[in-house]
A and B are shown apart, each in its own frame.
Chain A
Amino acid sequence: MERPIRVLVAKPGLDGHDRGAKVLARALRDAGMEVIYTGLRQTPEQIVEAALQEDVDVIGLSCLSGAHNHLFPRVTQLLKEKQAEDILVLGGGIIPEEDIPGLLAAGISAVFTPGTPTSAVIDYIKEHVKR
């Protein structure tokens, strides 16, 4: 049996929009992944530490409150500090088109915006997990 991919689905910042994150968590589970959900109001530090303790393959950051430019790069930066760049980091939520290049440059592998089918996220993860 192939080992299940482990994913941390996280809600950084004060944003309370969790519908998308929870739908995604379930979809990933139904695709055979092990999903750990952090709950709301997480700091980048907490997210990275949880990801390391859980030895996840993927961190999924969901943010709809507009704080992504502040929060997402902080997560990738901390991962770098911990030498954990082998964790794939995805972002999703309300992310304006023009912010995406900056996030990609900061080490977010891909950004998914409203209307994306969860199957696209699943395919992306399966194709891109780094280990």
Chain B
Amino acid sequence: MITEKEPMKPTDWAERVASGDRRALARVISFLENDDRQGVEVLKELYSRTGRAHVIGITGPPGAGKSSLLDKIIGELRSQGKTVGVVAVDPTSPFSGGAILGDRVRMQGWTGDAGVYIRSMGTRGSLGGLARATYGTIQLLDAAGFDYVLVETVGVGQSEVDIVRVADTVVVVTVPGLGDDIQINKAGITEIGDVFAVNKADLPGSERVATELELMLDLGNHQIWRPPVVLTVAATGQGVSELVRAAQDHYTTLQKEGKLAERRLAREKEALLLRLVERVRREILSIWAQKELSELWAALSARRLDPYTLEENVYKAWKGAKDE
């Protein structure tokens, strides 16, 4: 059983994950999801083994067919003999904290395949289209030896573009018939995509969407890579091998041009910064409720104290708390 009497050490977990133990992998992902410190400790052990997988992000509006496409992408990669790890993120209900994680059901056909691992994840309050544990999970899957790590974001609107912070290649999925209110350029997604899939190409209007996208992309300034636009039908798999080839071409281009390491480093730095900021934010929040402060609120409210001086005071209080 995985809940051993003796608590396992991070090195043990790491070893099991690296050796392809599915249960250990699944449990360490749970540590990450649940903010259990053990998760990070395991990641420390495994970081040196990461960097080998091609991480592909799939994003796009709700119901665009991201999961259905993933199902077919897995098939294409498997037929190339590659192994695939998947992280699929769905929104957590802000009211109940619960979630129905509905992506897996579209890929459930792969469940018996030893070369595929699929993990569903609720956002648990994160706003960027991914969960807080997503990045760590990608690293785990990478360290566990999967050739490809596919990440499905929640159905995104305009600002949930965290996917660019985690993926080597971002596939933006769009569909015909979204209406004028969700114009592609407005969604800001042309800037984040490395490959575009116009899915549901069996429905009317897909050609037009593709043309519009092409025109928009023509306006962009592409140094080494001009994002291609691929028409797909997830239901039949039409266009999927082309889509996968485009993602693979993007990756090799990054490698050839020496941009992959650059991109990854930038990503790692940004993630680091975010973690630090988050850490500081939490510390500040922890003194936020202190008594001393609450007296100052009254002063602020009565305009006896200005917010800028208050800022200095809070900052000092935090630093003081730190140095103790």
Contacts and interface: CB of A to CB of B under 8 A. Distances in A.
Interface of A: 1, 3-4, 6, 25-26, 28-39, 42-43, 45-46, 49-50, 52-55, 82-86, 131
Contacts of B29: 55
Interface of B: 1-3, 22-23, 26-27, 29-30, 33-34, 92-93, 96-102, 104-105, 108, 111-112, 117-120, 122, 124
Given A33-B98, A34-B122, A54 B26 contact: yes
Contact of A38 (B23, B99, B108, B122): B108
A113 to B, nearest CB: 24
Contacts of B1: 83-86
B100 A26 contact: yes
Contacts of A85: 1
A36 B89 CA distance: 12
Given A35-B99, A37-B102, A55-B27, 19 more contacts: A4-B97, A4-B98, A4-B124, A26-B100, A29-B96, A30-B93, A30-B98, A31-B96, A31-B98, A34-B101, A36-B104, A36-B120, A37-B100, A49-B112, A50-B104, A50-B108, A53-B111, A53-B117, A54-B119
B96 A32 contact: yes
A53 B34 CA distance: 16
A124 to B, nearest CB: 16
A83 to B, nearest CB: 5
Contact of A84 (B23, B96, B104, B112): B23
Nearest to A2: B97
B148 to A, nearest CB: 16
Given A35-B101, A83-B2, A84-B2, A3 B26 contact: no
Contacts of A82: 23
A7 to B, nearest CB: 10
Contacts of A39: 105, 108
Contacts of B117: 53
Given A3-B34, A55-B29, A32 B97 contact: yes
- Which of A25, A35, A49 has the largest number of chain B CB atoms within 10 A? A49
A5 B34 CA distance: 11
Contacts of A1: 97
Contacts of A30: 93, 96, 98
A101 B119 CA distance: 34
- Among A34, A42, A85, residue most surrounded by chain B Cβ atoms (within 10 Å): A34
5 contacts: A4-B99, A26-B100, A32-B97, A49-B111, A83-B1
Nearest to B109: A46
A85 B96 CA distance: 28
Nearest to A48: B111
A53 B118 contact: yes
Contacts of A50: 104, 108, 111, 118
Contact of B98 (A35, A49, A53, A131): A35
A55 B30 contact: yes
Contact of B23 (A26, A33, A35, A52): A52
B97 A38 contact: no
B96 A45 contact: no
Contacts of B27: 55
B104 A52 contact: no
Residue from the set B3, B34, B101 with the largest chain A CB neighbour count within 10 Å? B101
Contact of A29 (B23, B30, B93): B93
B98 A86 contact: no
A48 to B, nearest CB: 9
Contact of A28 (B22, B34, B98, B111): B98
A42 B104 contact: no
A77 to B, nearest CB: 16
A54 B104 CA distance: 10
B108 A52 contact: no
A32 B301 CA distance: 37
Given A4-B124, A30-B96, A53 B101 contact: no
Contacts of B93: 29-30
